[in-house]
Amino acid sequence: MSSKSGLTWAVHISVVLLVALWLFPTVGLFVSSFRTADQIATSGWWNALFTQEQNLVLRTAAPSDQAREGDLYVLQGNLFGEGASGSISAWGVTSRAIDEYEPGATAPMEEGTITVEANGDYRFESPVELTGTRGERVFVTASAPPEFTLGNYRQVLFSSSTTDSMARAFFNTLTVTIPATVIPIVIAAFAAYALAWMRFPGRALLIAFVVALLVVPLQLALIPLLRLHLGIGIGKGYLGVWLAHTGFGLPLAIYLLRNYMVSLPRDIIENAKVDGATDFQIFTRIILPLSFPALASFAIFQFLWTWNDLLVARVFLIDATGETTVMTNQIVELLGTRGGNWEILATAAFVSIAVPLLVFFAMQRYLVRGLLAGSVKGG
């Protein structure tokens, strides 16, 4: 009993660790997608709910907001901006001495003097009229309260600089994934029924051939298949990527569905044949409804593989205009052009994984049933 109890605890601990290893990065990505760039740069996502001390580079208002007070030109406001807050513990006017002054002190500037209070209020005075388009830089060490924003999602999904990429890539990915999931399921279901319940010469060889295809790396077939597509006029496009995903997904689909269908009770099929049912009627009215867990299991796998695919999409789909760019490729593009904007990358990545997570949680109850049912022979 003690040995069994110890093994049970080991299994439970292992499951908890595996769940944590999967859950923590996902939660971190989700939290980071609502944080600002400064927060991500200065603290981890696990500190998102706590006040953090940060070194920030803030600016005063633009010279166009200056007011004339006697012989002085004055700019005043709050360094944190409208609606934001923080507590400044030290500040400076140069990057070499960012903590030279305490709150309430006055520092000389090139065109005047500036006074900064602990809450971020400032007053910049100059004897000459201020020029230029940007405010003066002020380096502050501040304790900022937790801040969450939807701006990252607005920028990723609706900004003019990314709308033609991320939002379009989202619908392009759906356009690729849905047919690439449905087509192999339809073909594999017919093939699996034939291999499970129909008798014809060479059936065993076909089953062995399907099993052999499971170990063939898809990378070996990419270039030959692309050359075939170009040779017969398919070229690069949605049709080509649908056919590619169908071909790469069929071996597992046929193998999984065949193992499930062959485990169904033989009496049901034999009774249906005695009653005069054709193979097509048996397939559509008996086999398909009973095989729904296996169909759902493969649908989960195929949807996740296709949605997260980058290699097949880059070979069979990517064009020069970006009209058919999928989300995985667009995230790579964001990583290249926005290598320092981690808040944008985190948001784009979470948008990319949100749909697969919904699909998985909606259908995961069928996953284990579909995978394990074929291991038990029906009566």
**pLDDT, one tens digit for every residue, the chain (379 residues):** 455 577 888 888 998 999 888 888 888 888 888 888 777 877 788 888 887 777 888 888 888 888 988 889 998 889 887 767 778 889 998 888 888 899 999 999 888 899 999 888 999 999 988 888 888 889 998 887 777 888 888 877 776 665 556 778 888 899 999 999 999 999 999 999 999 888 888 888 988 888 888 888 888 888 888 888 888 888 788 888 999 999 899 998 999 889 888 888 888 888 888 888 888 888 888 888 888 888 888 888 899 899 988 888 888 887 655 677 888 888 877 766 555 677 778 888 888 888 888 887 877 777 666 555 544 444 4
pLDDT at residue number 216: 80
Task: Let me know: does 79 contact 58? Beta carbons within 8 Å.
Answer: yes
Give which of 134, 127, 95 is closest to 111, Cα–Cα.
127
pLDDT at residue number 369: 62
Task: Let me know: does 87 contact 142? Beta carbons within 8 Å.
Answer: yes
Q: Write down the pTM of the prediction.
A: 0.70
pLDDT at residue number 375: 47
pLDDT at residue number 378: 42
Give which of 114, 2, 116, 119 is closest to 66, Cα–Cα.
114
pLDDT at residue number 191: 92
Tell me the two tokens of residue 182: 């449905």
pLDDT at residue number 136: 87
Crossing angle for the helix pair 203-213 and 168-197, to the nearest 10 degrees: 150
350 burial level (CB within 10 Å; 0-12, 13-18, 19+):
buried
CATH of domain 154-375: 1.10.3720.10
pLDDT at residue number 159: 66
pLDDT at residue number 180: 94
Nearest-angstrom CA–CA distance, 49 and 174: 35
pLDDT at residue number 340: 61
Q: What number of CA atoms fall less than 13 Å from residue 17's CA on the CB side? A: 6
Of all helices (H) and strands (E), which one includes residue 75? Answer: strand 72-78
Domain assignments of the chain as residue spans, ordered by start: 2-46, 51-145, 154-375
182: helix, strand or coil: helix
Nearest-angstrom CA–CA distance, 1 and 73: 85
pLDDT at residue number 176: 92
